Amino acid sequence: MTASSAEIEALLFDGNDLSNPTPGMLPAIFRDIVGRLDAAGLAYAVIGRIALAIHEQARFVREIEIVVGSDADEHDRIAALARATQARFAAHMDPRLCRLHIVLTVRPSTCAAETQLLADAVTCQWFGVQARLASAEYLLWLWCRSDSLDNAVDASALIKGGAVDLYSVRGLLRTTDDVEESGQRRLRLAIGDAVLSTTSSFSRFMAERRARLDPNRVPVWRLRPAEVEGGADG
């Protein structure tokens, strides 16, 4: 299952305050920072739930997360690009000016494996511009290295969508995991959650199908006249 940036945009509104324009500004902020990164000639990959949508399904998002492959001397320039975007859209990104502000995180890659995975990013039209979104394998590898509850849920959803090469992710975790193999453990838990979720959905589907095929089942449209007649007799 895959979604599109248009489906994300359809979710970008404040249900408690429909006059609040901030959620709908996310595509414009996305285009601004991607344009700055492209103009600077920096390799990058968009991660987080924005990137998850290309592999699984659209979800409401309030954060733009980007990893940039660079040398150590580029760190200041990367931070300056993020600050420029934040300054331009301060009314929607500054927590002092906006209660539910949009968050922008732009960080350098942290290891050789991460830099290599940036090269596997998927280039596509996203929010009206050509952008590089993280591959399914990169997202799952990254989320398995974090104990965040949101990341665990997203990892399970990604596996359930069937778009990720689990063997590739296991190999990456073997080369980058810590001594306790916490990443491998989180991967196994995410796989288990995905299987349980899929099994539960399939069980509900089969139960509904069996109910429809039950020869003794009386359709609702037949029950209603009988109920009416019964009420008239009473």
Residues 129-166: tens digit of each pLDDT: 999 999 999 999 988 888 888 888 888 888 888 778 89
In terms of domains, do 161 and 89 share one?
Answer: no
Percent of all residues in the chain with a pLDDT value above 70, rounded to a whole number: 82
In terms of domains, do 3 and 93 share one?
Answer: yes
**CA distance to 151, 205, 216, 227, per residue, from 219 (Å):** 44, 18, 10, 13
Average pLDDT value for residue range 55-66: 90
In terms of domains, do 126 and 151 share one?
Answer: no
Helix 166-176, helix 136-143: angle, nearest 10: 40
In terms of domains, do 110 and 225 share one?
Answer: no
Domain range for 198 is: 147-234
Instruction: Determine the pLDDT at residue 133.
Output: 96
Among 19-28, 43-52, 166-175, 206-215, the minimum mean pLDDT is found in 206-215
Residue type, 214: D
Instruction: Determine the pLDDT at residue 147.
Output: 82
In terms of domains, do 9 and 80 share one?
Answer: yes
Map tokens 């980007």 to a residue.
66
Average pLDDT value for residue range 57-65: 90
